[in-house]
């Protein structure tokens, strides 16, 4: 049994017992390349003077900050969300016990989704990411990988048209990376990320998901394999300065795989869509598109409450065992929904993979110890 606890920080301070008692069901949605969103439910009632509670409490007002952390057993506390209240939803009824306030909380990428502008930014994509994150006081540190491709020598700058977060996501997409904001180690100290997919060999310390056999800890594992999705991309361009030409084709053999065998079906050929190569090398543009196409395997499921003893998060690898041998192995977490109530803590997940495993006729942990 893995007992779950959670704790809240309201405007940077630990919630009091009375404040904690106000909250009911909490849902946190985490998804790759999207802002994390939390929905916190607060039951409402009328006071003796006829006023509704929830109207004046400062910690329930727009732009107040909420941070939530989860602990399973004696493991370390894991922050799920830290950011401002961006929406409040009142559902009020004339029957007792039904009225409820829902406060919607966003991560601190909210502050990069505000004003739209047109401006010129100098430097490589990773250095521009650092510049943009540095403009937000709530983002106090960064975790930025070097972009695989430098800016095209013919382009000395990048033009921002829209919000800063939109530009970050555009740069990340063309580089085959991810731009997002996550909670830091303490309240109101978020981290700005500009990251590649993790290495298939990187261990995040998550408990393996076991579908069948000894130690089973997930209820289900639904897979979807798209045949013939992995593609070689090719493209060409002409220099307007000297009329020289350049043509490139991606190398699927250079993709870091999460298993020993390629995705099912033949490798197809695709033409790169116009647009993402303007400010980067053509070689990286086609390779990035090929890496994205390789994720031909997707799956979703639900962990067993009080049994699975890790907190799942997107952008991390997790091992799956006790399933069909070709799909057992390392998967990349793409989405997690955390649900917290007064009685339990649940997690549903989505994962993806760009390879298959050798199968149950090979040695390894894929074969369950027993069948139920």
Task: Report the pLDDT value the prediction gives residue 274, as an integer from 0 to 100.
Answer: 74
DSSP β-ladder status, 245-249 and 231-238? antiparallel
pLDDT averaged over the chain?
90
Q: How confident is the model at residue 48 (pLDDT cuts 50, 70, 90)?
A: confident
pLDDT per residue as tens digits for the range 280-320: 678 888 999 999 999 999 999 999 999 999 999 999 999 99
Q: Which residue has the tokens 């994150």?
A: 133
Write down the pLDDT at residue 154: 55
Joined together, the tokens standing for residue 249 give 């084709």
Read off the pLDDT of residues 69-113 as tens digits, 9 standing for 90 and up: 999 999 999 999 999 999 999 998 988 889 999 999 999 999 999
Quote the radius of gyration of the chain (alpha carbons, Å).
23
pLDDT at 124 over 80: yes
pLDDT for residue 49 = 78
Gap between the Cα atoms of 50 and 152, Å rounded: 66
Q: How far apart are CA 352 and CA 85, in angstroms?
A: 31
Q: What are phi and psi of 72, to 5 degrees?
A: -110, 120
pLDDT for 256-268, tens place per residue? Answer: 999 999 998 999 9
**pLDDT score for 303:** 97
Q: Considering only 47-56, 147-156, 206-215, which range has the smallest mean pLDDT?
A: 147-156
pLDDT above 50 for 370: no
151 confidence band (pLDDT: 50, 70, 90): low
As a whole number, mean pLDDT of residues 349-366 equals: 75
| Closest listed residue to residue 184, CA positions, set 270, 67, 85, 40 | 67
Residues 132 and 168 sit within 8 Å (Cβ to Cβ): yes
Give the closest residue to 230 by CA, choosing from 195, 196, 259, 208: 259
pLDDT at 17: 95
**Sequence-distant (≥ 6) Cβ neighbours of residue 261 within 8 angstroms:** 326, 355, 356, 357, 358
Q: Which residues contact 61 (CB under 8 A, 6 or more apart)?
A: 85, 88
Provide the pLDDT confidence category of residue 363 given band limits of 50, 70 and 90: very low
Cβ–Cβ under 8 Å, residues 83 and 91 = no
Pairwise CA distance, residues 190 & 201, whole Å: 27
Per-residue confidence (pLDDT) for residue 372, from 0 to 100:
40
Instruction: Report residue 55's pLDDT band, with 50, 70 and 90 as the boundaries.
Output: confident
According to the model, what pLDDT value does residue 46 have? 81
């Amino acid at each position: 049994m893995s007992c779950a606890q959670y704790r809240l920080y309201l405007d940077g301070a630990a919630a009091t017992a009375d404040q904690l008692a106000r909250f009911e069901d909490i849902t946190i949605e985490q998804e790759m390349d999207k802002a994390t969103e939390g929905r916190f439910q607060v039951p409402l009632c009328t006071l003796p003077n006829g006023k509704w509670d929830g109207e004046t409490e400062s910690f329930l007002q727009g732009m107040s900050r909420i941070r939530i952390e989860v602990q399973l057993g004696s493991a370390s506390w894991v922050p799920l969300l830290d950011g401002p209240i961006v929406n409040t939803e009142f559902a009020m009824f004339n029957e007792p016990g039904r009225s409820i306030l829902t406060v919607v909380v966003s991560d601190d990428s909210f502050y990069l989704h505000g004003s739209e502008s047109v401006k010129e930014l100098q430097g490589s994509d990773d250095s521009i990411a650092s510049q943009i994150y540095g403009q937000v006081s709530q983002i106090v540190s960064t975790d930025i990988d070097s972009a695989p491709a430098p800016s095209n020598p013919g382009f000395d700058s990048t033009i921002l048209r829209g919000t800063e977060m939109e530009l970050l996501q555009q740069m990340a997409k063309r580089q085959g990376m991810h731009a997002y904001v996550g909670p830091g180690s303490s309240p109101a100290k978020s981290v700005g990320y500009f990251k590649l997919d993790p290495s298939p060999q990187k261990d995040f310390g998550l408990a393996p998901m076991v579908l069948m056999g000894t130690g089973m800890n997930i209820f289900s594992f639904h897979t979807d394999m798209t045949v013939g999705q992995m593609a070689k991309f090719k493209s060409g361009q002409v220099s307007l300065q000297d009329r020289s030409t350049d043509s490139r084709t991606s190398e699927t053999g250079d993709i870091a795989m999460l298993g020993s065998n390629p995705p099912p079906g033949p490798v197809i050929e695709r033409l790169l869509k116009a647009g993402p190569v303007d400010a980067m090398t053509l070689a990286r543009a086609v390779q990035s598109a090929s890496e994205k196409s390789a994720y031909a395997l997707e799956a979703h499921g639900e962990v067993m409450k009080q049994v699975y003893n890790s907190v799942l998060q997107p952008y991390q690898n997790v091992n799956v065992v006790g399933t069909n041998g070709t799909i057992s192995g390392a998967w990349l977490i793409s989405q997690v929904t955390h649900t917290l109530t007064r009685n339990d803590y649940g997690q549903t997940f989505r994962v993806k993979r760009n390879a298959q495993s050798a199968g149950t006729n090979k040695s390894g942990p894929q074969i369950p110890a027993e069948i139920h």
